[in-house]
Homo-oligomer: A and B are copies of this chain.
Amino acid sequence: MSNADLHRERQTATISSEDFAEWWAGGRVALRERRALEKLFLDNDGFADPQHIALMSHKELYEYTIAKACKFLNQLRAWHATKAEANDTTNTKQSAIAELYDFRMLLSGPLGTALFQQSFPLRLHFSMFLPALLGQSTKEQQREWLERAWRMDGIIGTYAQTELGHGTFIRGLETRADYNGQSEEFILNTPTLTAYKWWPGGLGHAANMVIIMAQLYIKGKHYGLHPFLVRIRNAETHLPEPGVDVGEIGPKMSLNGVNNGFLGLKDVRIPRRQMLMKNAQVLPNGRFVKGPEPLLTYGTMVFVRVIIIRDVSFGLLQAATIATRYSAVRRQSPIAPDQPEPQILDHTTQQAKLFPQIANGIFFRIAADVVWHMYQSVMKELEAGNRRNLPELHALSCCLKAVCSAEAERGVESLRKSCGGHGYLSSSNLPQIYGLTTAACTYEGENTVLLLQTARFLVKQYAEGLKRKVLPHSVTYLRNAARPKWDKVVELKTLVRLLELAATEHIRNTFEYLRKQRKIAKSEQVAANKTGIRLTQAATLHGRAFLARIAFEEVEKFCKELKPSLAAVLKQLVELFVLEFCLTSLSDILLAFQLNARQVDEMRTRYERLLADIRPNAVAVVDGFDFNDRVLGSTLGCYDGRVYERLMEEARKSTLNQEAVNKTFETHLKPLMQGKL
């Protein structure tokens, strides 16, 4: 039995969530395939958690996760093999990269999320170890390792770069590999405590081989950072190899299934052929041969950041779905005094917490799709030796990773709180989704560092613009001085222009300030540090303007193909998306473009009206993301809306509730009450 309020919401929506789901999934076939795969695993009781993982101890969670992950990998590989065979007969055999890409997508995405809400250690083998092996080793090395690694034949791998004392600034890494010409070996060491590798997933107790980033030294001379393939645990006994000090780094805010580890090395020797030599070689005689510039490796960072934009959009939409359904079921605080308590979805303040986040999730993913296409075309250009568009792509991926993860983090947390106290319960899964989303703000390039990198690009482009040079596509607006006309009914493109003008003005201000600081300071870098706050703000405004522009353009395209009812809702959502940015960037807009109080009020009123317009379709839209209940993993967000029943059912499953009286009553509470403690 579905909740009556939710049922009514679905009856009265003006759009079909199935239409939405097809569009969102990228077509009917893609939607059907995903559903079939999810069904295969999620309808299998063997993959249901007997107790909520939040009840487990840290060690229990690890052991439970390993057991489940092995079973999952086994079945997934069997399914994958069958599918590959079917493709074989239809002559659509994939390349190794495409196959790997497909497989790692299966491990993350909805299926991986549904099964492992705190992730799992073996994922790194496919998401980091294998891609690094594929991308950084020579053909010969690939022959030796790749097939074995793909089959996990004696190999469970991970990738180790970050150190206890060194993160985003990779030149500061201390781990070193000294070449010994006599034995034709590298000798690896973490010479200090801060040099210990720290964070790699699966490193603690699962992995037995690691690709380690280390500073290469030949006869005491430094040759930069390179990847080395090192066995850290014996394949038979799993005991650490001699000189290896390995373990896990302990519990975390979330992601406790990952088994993040530390690794110290003392004179660990590996043969010369275990330096991954695609991009640089050390010959037996100790000669260092530089390879072609590793532009494709550079591309990997872009790739990872696009994935992160998709991931945070995914988390944001999970949270938005949970909170929207809950808001349709929960009734509280009368609006009219003689009426019963309304669905909280009818409170304007609640709508303002929900709908902008739905819009954010949608348009972040759409932006990720656009950057993903840019990435693919830039990679093709690179292969043809053309690197012209790489800086723009790099800046964009840095900027959007930072802006989208920061907005998504705020969004998830606001959605969690919109569910009141119940959002604080582990059974709502919202604390967990928050933990995953906020992690994206600091990993794979800390957000502030990424914004500073973007800003350096922007300031440079602004200077180029002053010299009347042609600018890359995403920053041409810096040379566009046109002031938009403020019509009676403000057009969406005008609002997008306002954001571009605000970004331009802030970049101009930052450029001027930087120039002034340069005159005062001794160095370019000191001046940049003094300008740090403005630089990060400029990059954020650029990110918002870009996201708004992309959303505007993409919706124009989509709407040509979609049913009018669905197109109408998408138009409301894109307007809300852009208006939300305008209102949060209002001071910058006001400094760039004179708006009077009446015009600002028009924007606010329009924002409020949009919330009311979206209200009737809110549930239908989140239904359209087509999250399986297991993907949401939430007592508050299930499709049937049995919120209170599930909260109680889940509470009753708590380990503490399995006995009427806990043993500490006799040992402690009773003596305390009798004054006999």
Residues of A within 8 A of B (CB): 52, 54-60, 62-63, 66-67, 70-71, 73-74, 151-156, 162, 164-169, 172, 193-194, 196, 198-199, 204-206, 235, 237-240, 247-253, 255, 259, 262, 330-337, 341, 346-350, 352, 413, 417, 420-421, 423-427, 431, 435, 438-439, 441-443, 446-449, 452, 509, 522-523, 525-526, 529-534, 536, 586-587, 590-591, 597, 600-601, 604, 607-608, 644-645, 647-648, 650-657, 660-665, 667-673, 675, 677
Residue contact A348 to B604, C-beta cutoff 8 Å = no
Residue in contact with A341 in the complex, picked from B169, B204, B331, B650, CB distance below 8 Å: B169
Residue contact B332 to A167, C-beta cutoff 8 Å = yes
Residue contact B67 to A654, C-beta cutoff 8 Å = no
**7 interchain residue pairs of minimum CB distance:** A586-B587, A253-B431, A57-B57, A54-B251, A348-B532, A587-B587, A349-B532
Residue contact B74 to A426, C-beta cutoff 8 Å = no
Copies of this chain present? 2
Residue contact A162 to B608, C-beta cutoff 8 Å = no
A239-B661, A656-B59 are known contacts. Are A250 and B332 too (CB-CB below 8 A)? no
Residue in contact with A250 in the complex, picked from B54, B172, B346, CB distance below 8 Å: B54
Measured in the bound complex, the distance between the Cα atoms of B341 and A194 in whole Å is 14
Residue in contact with A648 in the complex, picked from B57, B193, B421, CB distance below 8 Å: B193
Residue contact B52 to A651, C-beta cutoff 8 Å = no
Would you call the interface of chain A mostly helix, strand, loop, or mixed? helix
Q: Which of A651, A653, A675 has the most CB of B within 10 A?
A: A651
Shortest CB–CB separation between residue A246 and chain B, in angstroms?
Answer: 9
Shortest CB–CB separation between residue A153 and chain B, in angstroms?
Answer: 6
Apart from A56-B58, A253-B426, A262-B651, 4 more pairs, CB < 8 Å: A155-B673, A250-B427, A251-B426, A346-B529
Residue in contact with A252 in the complex, picked from B206, B336, B346, B425, CB distance below 8 Å: B425
Would you list 13 pairs from A and B whose C-beta atoms are within 8 A, ordered by A residue? A58-B655, A62-B662, A196-B648, A205-B661, A205-B662, A238-B665, A248-B657, A250-B425, A250-B650, A251-B654, A259-B656, A349-B536, A591-B600
Chain B, Cβ-Cβ closest to A531: B348
Measured in the bound complex, the distance between the Cα atoms of B352 and A668 in whole Å is 48
Residue contact A66 to B668, C-beta cutoff 8 Å = yes
Residue contact B332 to A166, C-beta cutoff 8 Å = yes
Chain B, Cβ-Cβ closest to A528: B335
Residue contact B591 to A347, C-beta cutoff 8 Å = no
Residue contact A424 to B449, C-beta cutoff 8 Å = no
Set of chain B residues within 8 Å of A73, measured between Cβ atoms: 672
Residue contact B420 to A442, C-beta cutoff 8 Å = yes
Residue contact B74 to A677, C-beta cutoff 8 Å = yes
Residue in contact with A673 in the complex, picked from B153, B350, B531, CB distance below 8 Å: B153
Chain B, Cβ-Cβ closest to A668: B70
Chain B, Cβ-Cβ closest to A352: B533
Shortest CB–CB separation between residue A435 and chain B, in angstroms?
Answer: 8
Residue in contact with A349 in the complex, picked from B168, B452, B607, CB distance below 8 Å: B452
Set of chain B residues within 8 Å of A349, measured between Cβ atoms: 448, 452, 532-533, 536
A166-B332, A262-B648, A608-B530 are known contacts. Are A672 and B251 too (CB-CB below 8 A)? no
Measured in the bound complex, the distance between the Cα atoms of B677 and A648 in whole Å is 37
Set of chain B residues within 8 Å of A654, measured between Cβ atoms: 58, 247-251
Shortest CB–CB separation between residue A233 and chain B, in angstroms?
Answer: 8
Shortest CB–CB separation between residue A197 and chain B, in angstroms?
Answer: 12
Q: Which of A526, A587, A669 has the most CB of B within 10 A?
A: A669
